[in-house]
Amino acid sequence: MNEINTAFRWHKPAVISSHRVNYTGGLYVENRDHGLASLKNLLTAIVKKWPDVEFMTTAELGSLISDGK
């Protein structure tokens, strides 16, 4: 949350980097459950603090930046 707060304070996008391995339970179901719960907690906290936040894909962010918006 601190890094997201800093990005938003500087009017920059906050990028949440993740990998599908955090959300699959092929080897350890506990890892999947923990990863999904952590992501849900993070997204809930973001929306609570910044209700007008917009979530987008990397491709959407790239298009927004290349269009100069």
**Residue range 30-44, pLDDT digits in tens:** 888 988 999 999 999
| Number of compact structural domains in the chain | 1
pLDDT of residue 69: 63
Range of the domain at 20: 2-66
Residue ranges of the chain with pLDDT lower than 70? 69
Distance CA 13, CA 6 (A): 10
DSSP secondary structure of 6-69: HHHHTT-PPP----GGGG--SS-HHHHHHHHHHHHHHHHHHHHH-TT-----HHHHHHHHHTT-
pLDDT of residue 62: 92
The closest alpha carbon to 43, from 31, 55, 33, belongs to 55
